[in-house]
A = this chain, B = another copy of it.
Amino acid sequence: MAVDRITELKQYLDRGDKTALEKFLRKLHPADIAFMFQDMEFEEKLSVLTLLNFEKAGSVLGELDEGERSEILSSLGPEPLSDIVEAIPSDDAADILSEVSEEKAEKTLELMEEEEAEDVEELMKYSPETAGGIMIPDFFSLSEETTVDEAILALRKEKNVEMLSYLYVVDEDGRLSGVVSLRRLIAAEGDCRLKEIMNREVVSARTDVDQEEVAGLVRKYDLRALAIVDGNGRLIGRVTVDDVMDVIEEEATEDIYKMVGTDDEELSKKSILNVVRLRLPWLLISLVGGIVAATIMKSFNVTLENVIALAFFIPVIMGMGGNIGMQSSTIVVRGLATGRIKLGHIWGVLFREIRTGALMGLICGAVVGVAAHIFQGKVVLGIVVASSMFIAITVAAVVGALMPLMLKSLKIDPAIASGPFVTTANDITGLLIYFLLATSFIRYLG
């Protein structure tokens, strides 16, 4: 299906058949056009965009990845750009303009209708990952004394509010006092006043609330939109559920990428140098950890020279410690993010991880101990390897669970720091445990 469409599109493009192309594009949803951009050349994308009306072109731009979009934006002058951003919701317009140069953004805003330009400029002031940054500054509000019939009449006239699900009720100062869903409005008697049918428990958030928290509220209360208020409780915008779905996915992706020391910006970076810059700090922490490990082994030089076979089991002991540490820290990092683990319940989580770690350490220790014994024909080596593995795994489970909890209580994002610290800490403790044990049993090992 999707493949057929792109073939059809390419045919029209190759033939330069504008009429057929326009007709074809008219039938497509902006999200589908954006999807097809992945298989198109830069010039082809531009040709397609110019054939769309401004609103649709803007929606397509809104659907693109940041990297892809910025490439296109840099080739658009202020004039076509102003036509496009004027035709789309002001939150999307603000996102787009914050991605072009300051100079171009200013010129574009000057070319726009004043009222619309003001809305967009207002939105560009909020930091992008807050309620203010993702809100739409338009909404539909009426006073408490309005009747249902009057409200319906007013709604008929109001054409510009997108994704409208709720009618907000405000007092004289514009402060939020209630909310009425369209469903409720339709079901009510025509001469009812809004204050009689409105829900007074309106959930709202201030502009500076983090987008993750906004998403949490929308999910928790199953909302279609969240009212956004300023410092004085005055209604100034809405965050709609479609943007919240994007936030939920973005935040999850961000957490996943942070756990391996990179960033979700990575896929939109064009240059390898930028990708390396993102990933390298994490790797360098590990690298330093590795060099520390080498130093430790050097200090146990004599033990190692006496029993070369000890070296064979270094990777498996360190590796298993690393794995279990990753499991524990991942469970805790994600649990904290989704709210299934609370800082108040540290001891429960820790106790659970210790027991899990100890049991897995017992099993893995037994397996590798038997392997070491068979391997080398020495019971003592088996015992040393097995005990080291057991201790290393148990410690790794504790460190893995503790690190994100500690970071969280220090208000550091647990996702960003858990990975390298957990791995490095476990590498070093695993190695120390192994060599300390081996050295104390050295006369039975030789």
Contacts and interface: CB of A to CB of B under 8 A. Distances in A.
A345 B324 CA distance: 33
A219 interface: yes
A40 interface: no
A74 interface: no
Among A245, A293, A318, A324, find the residue whose CB has the most chain B CB atoms closer than 10 A: A245
A293 B308 contact: no
A276 interface: yes
A283 B320 contact: yes
A418 to B, nearest CB: 12
A272 B249 CA distance: 30
Nearest to A275: B356
Given A276-B359, A330-B256, A308 B316 contact: no
A352 B316 contact: no
Contact of A294 (B187, B253, B371): B371
A337 to B, nearest CB: 9
Given A38-B345, A294-B312, A164 B183 contact: yes
A352 B267 CA distance: 10
A290 interface: yes
Interface in A419-433: 423, 427, 431
A126 interface: no
25 contacts: A29-B220, A38-B342, A39-B344, A155-B183, A163-B222, A164-B183, A165-B182, A185-B186, A256-B259, A256-B330, A257-B334, A260-B323, A260-B330, A267-B341, A279-B327, A287-B316, A287-B320, A287-B364, A287-B367, A289-B319, A290-B313, A293-B315, A293-B319, A304-B308, A319-B427
A228 to B, nearest CB: 18
B316 A315 contact: no
Contact of A331 (B246, B248, B266, B298): B266
Contacts of A182: 165, 182-183, 186
Q: Which 8 residue pairs are nearest across A and B when measured between Cβ atoms?
A: A290-B316, A252-B252, A222-B242, A294-B312, A311-B311, A182-B182, A31-B220, A297-B312
Contacts of A363: 276, 280
Interface residues of A, number: 107
Interface string A321-358: 01110110011001100101110110000001001100
Interface in A264-278: 266-267, 272-273, 275-276
Given A187-B155, A360-B279, A241 B260 contact: no
A193 interface: no
A199 to B, nearest CB: 11
A287 B371 CA distance: 11
Contact of A256 (B249, B256, B368): B256
A342 B367 CA distance: 40
A410 interface: no
B245 A224 contact: no
Contacts of A345: 38
Contacts of A241: 224, 241, 245
Contacts of A301: 308
Given A248-B252, A272-B355, 6 more contacts: A38-B345, A252-B252, A262-B327, A272-B359, A291-B316, A298-B312
